Chain A
Amino acid sequence: MRLEVHKLCAFCGRAQILFDVSLKLERGEVVALLGRNGAGKSTTLKSIVGLVEQRSGRVVLDGRDITYAPTAQIARAGLGYVPEDRRIFTELTVAENLLVGRQPPRSGAPAWTEKSLFHLFPNLAELSDRPAGEISGGEQQMLTIARTLMGNPAALMLDEPSEGLAPLIVEQLGKAILTLKQQGLSILLSEQNLHLARAIGDRVSIIEKGRIRFEGTMAEFGSDQTISRTFLAV
């Protein structure tokens, strides 16, 4: 699935948060959206799925303009969104959380079942009947991804999936995301964790203060130390 973002602006009240953000995500590609805390990564992803009310610009999914489509329709069109704060339904069980995400299979995207997801995230299998509010942070992160995958998306946006997780868990997570990539999913990965981004990203976009400041391949990004020093170092 192809995602194209053209000159996206977003506002919060009178404050402008995003300034003409443009991004491209080709089929089967992983684009890492990097930026410091507060740079505008989450706002970008939220604006794409229509969770930021005041916005302008154009968002095109496989040739279809979805800029002002209702959030649910965007999801049903095959664009999965995994929010940064996980937003697990804590009052529902793990299995019920997955059920909420369930959508009919779609052609051109891997079809997931609860069972195949438990295979991808083995930890979740035993937790299936537990209230989701009671499982650990890492498990919640797995669950939020699994829940979105239940919708059989063709493209996936992940917002800082590694945030607050132990290195071991991050590694597990990286493996799972790689699997998804191998299955042909297009992935837009917002991250501060360069390690994870390097491991799975094909291309890099860097955002700073609501503006895209760099776009290039992972190799170009890696070869020029000044880029990450200028825009990412704290």
Chain B
Amino acid sequence: MAFVVIQFLNGLASAADLFLVSAGLSIIFGVTRIVNFAHGSFYMLGAYLAFTLVEGVFGPAFGFWPGIVAAAIAVAVLGGLLEVTLLRRIYQAPELFQLLATFGVVLIVQDLVLLVWGPEDRIGPRAPGLEGAVSLLGHQFPRYDLFLIALGPIVLGALFLLFRRTRWGILVRAATQDREMAAALGVNERWLFTSVFVLGAFLAGLGGAVQLPREAVHHTMDLEIIVEAFVVVVIGGLGSVTGAFLASIILAELNAFGIVIFPEVTLVLVFLVMAVVLVIRPTGLLGRPEFAIRAASGVAEPPITPQSEAARNWVFAGVLGLAVLPVVADAYVLSVATEIMIFVLFAISLQFLMGISGMVSFGHAASFGLGAYGAALMIKHAGAPMELAFLAGIGLAALGALVIGWFCVRLSGVYLAMLTLAFAQIAWSVAFQWYGVTGGDNGILGVWPAAWAASPIVFFYLTLAVTTLALVILRRIIFAPFGFGLRACRDSVLRAEAIGIDRRQVQWFGFAVAGAFAGVAGTLYAFLKGSVFPDVLAVPVSVDGLVMVLLGGIQRLNGPIVGALVYKLLQIVLASYTDYWRLVIGVIIIGLVVAFPQGIVGFFGTRLDTLLMQRRNNS
């Protein structure tokens, strides 16, 4: 019994920082409708700055408590600056582009942290006055954890007072419910948005800072916490601080007890709880009616059309050009070209999911990675030939997509997107932790193509053939009745259902199709690299896909091709010049979002359309 109580307290203590981060994320989202990926970066910066200020790394030491508070305030100021300099420019852009911009910030901060603090873990000091442990029910319990346990409810109470008793708080609640109406009443959105961002960043910075005595500060804590915070926000309900509080406790307790009782299935438990909550209450425990993610701005998008003669010729010329590439290129160039084609395929599958089926995924890496692992596991454990392993990869990806999709089609908008991210993260954790089967972070080696496909040239042609075939098949699907059904559901669920389309069914299959094709890409990737690591399932792969699709223009048939080509090429070239390619890419992403809110192909495509139209009118 005593053990249970202690474990429960442990859970409460680790819920504190999760709550702080999730509350900030939720508040920011509520008012600005921005899914702030950079929120994890605020958390990480809070931790690093606290470490720096407390220890006096670059200057005078502040001492522990002043250092913690100063770090949180510094992060708040950074958050405010970010809002004023970047986000303010892009509130009019489609939500997904805003998301992309915040991910650009994530990349930049990641490299800045490495530049400033280096890759080593940093261990913070104990908190003065709260060192050591107290004796509780015969167990030793860290004093500092008692402080953390108190911190959660204190912050919750403070936020409660802030939102109920101050005019600012009431304005925030009003704007969370109806931003336009608040503006029509003269509420100054700019000021409100900035201040909300400052508060959210402060909470995240504080969350990171108070972790200092508990956990080493390291440079991957940003994505770790943001994914957990997404899960919390999905379970608790977007925009609800109390929901975030409850959900962070639930999550932390599941972890606390899961680890001691059945460590292997802790993740599955978390996932089951989330699934149950979402199926029963699609908007989370305390969420309000769902928030839609608009793929485009309020402007109606031109419907996707079968491509023009010119565009088809371009694609055709591209395939032909690739077909003669091996004549002039060396093995390195061929492998780069092969990799780019694989990501073109990946991007096409994601565009099918987002642009055609209207389901935004933050976790498309799940399908890509399952494809890769499916093939690799088949080879490692069954010694299967490449052809069979290839099919196994596609099968596993499709199966995974069926499972994930079953839950996802019950949601929409942001909730759906966050759920996909959570599933991808679960898949990643399984691959990472299940040493016996997946080899954990040692990965699976020796995933080589069959002898006939082993030469770079043959594998290049194989990839070209598969990618082209996949492209043709997906296009067929888009303009087949099934594709029309998907687009009908995307555009209006009500109308689609009124004409007898079973929305969930159609979207579920759409999800599976997209997953299967991403799996094809993943399988090819495994054979190209000869190995598989958990990285193929990780957040950056999902985000790469998003960047490619959005750069290309989500409603452009050839958008993902251009997007993948440009982005992957950029990544490969940059990585060969500098270790800090994330920084450069981050800056480029942000620059592109600010400059071309419709995507590259969208931007030039619209110009081209206008030009063509003028020419036709003249003649």
Residues on A lying within 8 angstroms of B by beta carbon are 12-14, 49, 51, 53-54, 70-72, 75-76, 81, 83, 87, 89-92, 96-97, 99-103, 147-148, 150-151
Q: Which residues of A contact B180 (CB under 8 A)?
A: 51, 71, 87
Count residues of B near A (Cβ-Cβ below 8 Å).
22
25 sampled A-B residue pairs with Cβ under 8 A = A14-B300, A49-B184, A51-B184, A53-B299, A70-B183, A71-B183, A71-B184, A72-B183, A72-B184, A72-B186, A75-B183, A81-B184, A83-B181, A83-B184, A89-B177, A89-B178, A89-B181, A92-B170, A92-B177, A96-B173, A97-B174, A99-B170, A101-B185, A147-B185, A150-B185
Q: B189 at the A/B interface (Cβ < 8 Å)?
A: yes
B169's nearest neighbour on chain A, judged by CB, is A96
Q: Determine the chain A residues whose CB is within 8 A of the CB of B183 once the complex forms.
A: 70-72, 75
Contact B298 A91 (CB under 8 A): no
A100 touches B171 (CB 8 A): yes
Check A12–B300 contact: CB distance below 8 A. Answer: yes
A12 to B299 Cα, complex, angstroms: 7
Q: Mark B299-324, 1 if CB is under 8 A from A, else 0.
A: 11000000000000000000000000
Which residues of the other chain, A, contact B178 by a CB distance below 8 angstroms?
Answer: 87, 89
Residues on the A chain within 8 Å of B298, using CB = 53
Chain B residues 210-266 with CB under 8 Å of chain A are none
A76 CA to B298 CA, complexed, in Å: 25
Task: Evaluate contact between B300 and A100: CB separation under 8 angstroms.
Answer: no
Which residues from chain A contact B167 at a C-beta distance below 8 Å? Answer: 99, 102
- Name the residue among A71, A83, A91 with the largest chain B CB count within 10 angstroms: A71
* A83–B181 CA distance with the chains assembled, in angstroms: 8
Given contacts A89-B174, A89-B177, contact A13 B300 (CB under 8 A): yes
B185 contacts A151, C-beta separation under 8 Å: yes
- Once the chains are docked, how many angstroms separate the CA of A99 from the CA of B297? 31
What does the 1/0 interface line of B180-216 toward A look like (CB < 8 Å)? 1111111111000000000000000000000000000
A72 — which chain B residues lie within 8 A by C-beta? 183-184, 186-189
Are A87 and B181 in contact (CB-based, < 8 A)?
A: yes
Q: Report chain B residues within 8 Å CB of A151.
A: 185-186
Residues in A neighbouring B182, C-beta threshold 8 A: 100
CA of A36 to CA of B576 in the docked complex: distance in angstroms? 66
Look across to chain B and name the residue whose beta carbon is closest to the beta carbon of A153: B186
Residues of A within 8 A of B174 (CB): 89, 92, 96-97, 100
**Residues of chain B with a CB closer than 8 A to A51's CB:** 180, 184
The complex places the Cα of A75 from the Cα of B298 at a distance, in Å, of: 22
Residues of the B chain whose Cβ atoms lie less than 8 Å from the Cβ of A96: 170, 173-174
How would residues 157 to 185 of chain B score, 1 for a CB under 8 Å from any chain A CB and 0 otherwise? 00000000001001101100110111111
**A interface, over-half SS:** loop
Residues of B within 8 A of A147 (CB): 185
> Taking the nearest CB of chain B, how far is it from the CB of A149, in angstroms?
11
Question: Do most interface residues of chain B lie in helix, strand or loop, or is the interface mixed?
Answer: helix
In the complex, what residues of B have CB within 8 A of residue A148's CB?
Answer: 185
**Of listed A14, A96, A147, residue having the most chain B CB within 10 A:** A96
Minimum CB distance partner of B299 in chain A: A13
Per the bound structure, the CA–CA distance linking A89 and B171 in Å amounts to 10
- In this complex, what residue of B is CB-closest to A86? B181
Contacts A92-B170, A96-B170; is A75 near B299 (CB within 8 Å)?
A: no
With beta carbons under 8 angstroms apart, the residue of B173, B185, B300 that contacts A91 is B173
Q: State the CA gap A147–B299 with chains docked (Å).
A: 30
- Beyond A75-B183, A76-B186, 12 extra complex contacts between A and B, CB < 8 Å: A51-B180, A53-B297, A53-B299, A71-B180, A71-B184, A72-B183, A87-B180, A89-B173, A92-B173, A99-B170, A101-B185, A103-B186
- Among residues of A, the one whose C-beta sits closest to the C-beta of B300 is A13
The 7 closest A-B pairs by CB, nearest first: A13-B300, A75-B186, A71-B183, A87-B181, A100-B174, A76-B186, A72-B183
- Return chain B residues, CB-CB under 8 Å to A81: 184
A97 to B188, CA, bound (A): 16
B177 and A91 form a contact (CB under 8 A)? yes
| Assembly CA distance A99 to B171 (angstroms) | 8
Q: Name the residue of chain B whose CB is nearest to the CB of A101.
A: B185
Alpha-carbon distance A96/B174, docked complex (angstroms): 9
Contact B187 A100 (CB under 8 A): yes
- Can you name the residue of chain B whose Cβ is closest to the Cβ of A11? B299
A196 to chain B, nearest CB (A): 22
A83, chain B: closest CB distance, angstroms:
7
Chain A, residue nearest B92 (CB): A53
Contacts of A103 in B (CB 8 A): 186
Q: Which residues of B contact A70 (CB under 8 A)?
A: 183, 189
A2 to B196, CA, bound (A): 36
B 268-293 binary contact with A (CB < 8 Å = 1; else 0)? 00000000000000000000100000
Tell me, rounded to whole Å, the shortest Cβ–Cβ distance linking A46 to chain B: 9
Chain A, Cβ-Cβ closest to B301: A13
Assembly CA distance A17 to B187 (angstroms): 28
For B184, give the chain A residue with the smallest CB separation: A81
Chain A positions within 8 Å of B189 at CB level: 70, 72
Rounded to whole angstroms, the CA-CA distance of A148 and B182 in the bound complex is: 10
CB neighbours of A150 from chain B (8 A): 185
The chain A residue sitting closest to B239, CB to CB, is: A91
Given the complex, which residues of B lie within 8 Å of A99, measured CB to CB?
167, 170
* Cβ distance A71 to chain B, nearest Cβ, rounded Å: 4
**Nearest B residue to A87, CB-CB:** B181
Q: Tell me the smallest distance from the CB of B171 to a CB of chain A, in Å.
A: 6
CA distance A103 to B188 in the complex (A): 11
- B186, B189, B299 pick with most chain A CB within 10 angstroms: B186
For B184, the chain A residues whose CB sits under 8 A away are 49, 51, 71-72, 75, 81, 83
Most buried by A among B167, B185, B299: B185
Q: Cα distance A215–B423 when bound, in Å?
A: 61
Q: Closest residue of chain A to B297, judged by CB?
A: A53
Residues of chain B within 8 A (CB-CB) of A90 are: 177
- Looking across the interface, which residue of chain A has its beta carbon closest to that of B182? A100
**Smallest CB gap from B179: residue in A:** A71
Smallest CB separation, A89 vs chain B (Å): 5
**Minimum Cβ distance to chain A for residue B606 (Å):** 13
- With the chains together, A54 CA to B299 CA distance in Å? 8
List, in ascending order, chain A residues with CB within 8 A of B299's CB: 13, 53-54
B497 to chain A, nearest CB (A): 22
Q: Which residues of A contact B297 (CB under 8 A)?
A: 53
Bound-state Cα–Cα, A90 to B182, Å: 13
Measured CA separation A76–B185 after assembly (Å): 8
- Identity of the chain A residue whose Cβ is nearest the Cβ of B164 in the assembled complex: A96
Residues of A within 8 A of B187 (CB): 72, 100
B177 touches A100 (CB 8 A): no
Chain A's nearest CB lies how many Å from the CB of B166? 10
Closest CB in chain A relative to B57 CB, distance in Å: 44
Kindly identify, within residues 329 to 361 of chain B, every residue whose CB is under 8 Å from any CB belonging to chain A.
Answer: none
Q: B232 to nearest A CB, angstroms?
A: 21
Q: Looking across the interface, which residue of chain B has its beta carbon closest to that of A133?
A: B177
User: Which residues does chain B contribute within 8 Å of A89, judged by CB atoms?
Assistant: 173-174, 177-178, 181
A51 to B184 Cα, complex, angstroms: 8
Which A residues touch B185, using CB under 8 A? 75, 100-101, 147-148, 150-151
Chain B residue, CB-CB nearest to A54: B299
Cα distance, A14 to B300, chains bound together (Å): 7
A92 CA / B178 CA spacing, docked (Å): 12
Q: How far is the CA of A40 from the CA of B516 in the complex (A)?
A: 47
